[in-house]
Amino acid sequence: MATQNSRSAARLMMAPAVILLLGWMLVPLTMTLWFSFRKYLPLRGGDQGWVGFDNYVRFVSSSSFWPSVQTTLIIVGGVLIITVVFGILLALLLDQPMWGQGVVRILVIAPFFVMPTVSALVWKNIFMDPVNGLFAHLWKFFGATPVEWLSQASVQSIIMIVSWQWLPFATLILLTAVQSLDGERLEASEMDGANPLQRFGYIVLPHLARAITIVVLIQTIFLLSIFAEIFVTTGGAFGTKTLSYLIFQRVLESQNIGLGSAGGIYAVILANIVAIFLMRIVGKNLDA
């Protein structure tokens, strides 16, 4: 029944959803674009008219811009590496037949259901607190001086917290990929003389390539905008200011909406570059 009639009817019925989605996206984007070209200081004179690309130039030339880009990349990259590597190991482990498999799997997935703010608070206060944290007690037990995690190893700490949140996602996707690997293929490679490491390198890893790409793609898009974890733990201090945190500071702490909007547009461009880049990799992988 894919006639002209039914197709235009379908279009008509989809229209509300499409319009809603477009509005949802376009209105904030247009407003951000609009403000990014204006001098707008809510507490110091309000909207003071057009300034051209002034905000864009100032955002980039500010001394905190490049460090924030660097921090963003380090955090995103660090979390990706940790979640993919440990995700693969966990997936291989969980694929082994063992007692209580179902329960263990649910436990592994549990962190994903904890809200970012809550998990950051838990890590900050229960694990990383330099006086009462579990890590501090552990260090003291072995006679070492407790580490002040969030000031001395701030970026690493945030990478750890965020990795903990995203590891279940990576594990879950990779586990389904591991489970879809044909057992006869592994047996064939075993008979062909491949040792366990070679079996992993030549058979398992290529089989996981697509799943890994998908994990990297999806995580990157979400990780570029992590905020709660930084806000709750270091508040952007000790070199943990990411691009999204910098934008937040410009808008709320400096009360400069124009400057923050320009930063927002930069972030949109950055995310799009990453997305296009990754889409092409995924596309290539999906061809095979």
Partner 1 sequence: MGRITLKEVTKSFGTVEVIKPINLEIEDGEFVVFVGPSGCGKSTLLRLIAGLEDVTSGHIEINGTDATAIPPAKRGLAMVFQSYALYPHMSVRKNIAFPLKMAGVDKTEINRKVDEAARVLNLSDYIDRRPGQLSGGQRQRVAIGRAIVREPDAFLFDEPLSNLDAALRGNMRLEISELHQTLATTMIYVTHDQVEAMTMANKIVVLRDGIIEQVGAPIDLYKNPRNLFVAEFIGSPKMNIIKGDAATELGAPTVGIRPEHLEVSKTKGKWKGTVGVSEHLGSDTFLHIEAEGIGTVNVRADGEIDLHHGDVAWLTPQVDKLHRFDATGLAI
- The residue ranges that bind partner 1 (CB under 8 A) are 182, 184-185, 187-194, 198, 202-203, 206-207, 209, 288
Which helix (H) or strand (E) is 39 found in, with range?
strand 38-41
Task: Give whichever of 66 and 202 is closer to partner 1, judged by the CB atom.
Answer: 202
Identify which of residues 177 and 262 has a Cβ nearer to partner 1 in the complex: 177
Rounded to 5 degrees, what are φ and ψ at 2? -85, 60
Contact at 8 Å (CB) between 133 and 125?
A: yes
Strand partners, 40: 47
**Minimum distance of partner 1 from residue 72's CB (angstroms):** 33
Nearer to partner 1, 118 or 281 (CB): 281
Nearest to partner 1 of 203, 259 (CB atom)? 203
Task: Give burial (CB, 10 Å; 0-12/13-18/19+) of 51.
Answer: middle
- Measured in whole angstroms, the distance separating CA 276 from the mean position of its chain's CA atoms is 16
Q: Which is nearer to partner 1, 94 or 177 (CB)?
A: 177
To the nearest whole angstrom, how small is the minimum distance from the Cβ of residue 212 to partner 1?
Answer: 13
- Nearest distance from C-beta of residue 215 to partner 1, angstroms: 18
Cα–Cα distance measured from residue 65 to residue 67, given in angstroms and rounded to the nearest whole number: 6
Q: Which helix (H) or strand (E) holds 25?
A: helix 4-36
Q: Are strands 46-50 and 38-41 parallel, antiparallel or unpaired?
A: antiparallel
Instruction: State the nearest-atom distance from the C-beta of 187 to partner 1, in Å.
Output: 5
Task: Tell me the closest approach of the beta carbon of residue 287 to partner 1, in angstroms.
Answer: 10
For residue 172, give the nearest of 227, 206, 218 by alpha carbon: 218
In degrees to the nearest 10, what's the CA dihedral of 130, 133, 137, 143? Answer: -20
Burial class (CB in 10 A: 0-12, 13-18, 19+), 171: buried
Q: Which is nearer to partner 1, 77 or 206 (CB)?
A: 206
Region of 235 please: left (phi>0), alpha (psi -120 to 50) or beta: left
CB of 199 to partner 1, least distance (A): 10
Smaller CB separation from partner 1, 1 or 288? 288
Cβ within 8 Å of residue 18, ≥6 positions away: none
Q: Least separation, in Å, of the C-beta of 278 and partner 1?
A: 20
